[in-house]
Amino acid sequence: MRKLISFLFFALFLTGNIWAGTPKESLRALSHGEPIAISSEKMTLKGQEDKVFFEGDVLIQKGDIKITAGRVEVQLANRENVKEIVQIAMLDEVEVKQGDRRVLAQKGVYNTKEGEIVLTGDAEMWEKGYHVKGRLIRLSLNQKRSFVEGSVLTIY
């Protein structure tokens, strides 16, 4: 079943308590801004380690950002007695789409607090008339900026 879990229900399960306010507000507190929705074919919760593993056609959505990957590890932390998402590590053919920007790589790490994704492993990006390859591509999601290290640029 592809839509295995709504991240909201998962978050409520982890905290074991009812938050003040609406569920949507609670989810925003977990993800530093807009709500994050994660779906996959399989989910494994390791509560003592504050980690959640998603496998098989993983889809992550947050606002206008859509991320797909084969496997994902979500790192949680306690903040004011609520679990919040600190980092999302993505593996196995990662694709990030935001507006006209599309990035492919083998690995990615999303720091939710900084609003930044670092992609490595055959990283490539396409955006408005150009294609760039690099050793590392850093996406600033809040500022919609890109930084590429060890790059080769093709303009068309």
pLDDT on residue 45: 87
User: Is residue 58 in some structural domain?
Assistant: yes
User: Is residue 47 in some structural domain?
Assistant: yes
pLDDT on residue 130: 87
Where residue 105 sits, what CATH number does that domain have? 2.60.450.10
Of 53, 69, 67, 48, whose CA–CA distance to 112 is shortest?
Answer: 67
Taking the C-alpha atoms of residue 125 and residue 132, their distance in angstroms, rounded to an integer, is 5
User: Is residue 26 in some structural domain?
Assistant: yes
User: Is residue 105 in some structural domain?
Assistant: yes
User: Is residue 2 in some structural domain?
Assistant: no
pLDDT on residue 48: 80
pLDDT in tens, the chain (156 residues): 444 344 444 443 444 332 333 333 333 334 556 788 899 999 998 878 889 999 999 999 988 899 999 999 999 888 777 778 899 999 999 999 988 899 999 999 999 888 899 999 999 999 888 899 999 999 998 787 888 988 777 776
Q: Where are the beta strands (DSSP E) in 35-151?
A: 37-39, 42-46, 51-62, 65-79, 82-98, 101-111, 116-127, 130-140, 145-149
The Cα diameter of the chain in Å comes to 54
Q: How many domains does the chain have?
A: 1
Work out the number of other CB atoms within 10 angstroms of the CB of residue 100. Answer: 10
Work out the number of other CB atoms within 10 angstroms of the CB of residue 24. Answer: 10
pLDDT on residue 150: 85
Provide the residue range defining the domain that includes 66: 7-155
User: Is residue 53 in some structural domain?
Assistant: yes
User: Is residue 1 in some structural domain?
Assistant: no
Please tell me whether the overall predicted TM-score, pTM, comes out greater than 0.85 for this model: no
User: Is residue 97 in some structural domain?
Assistant: yes
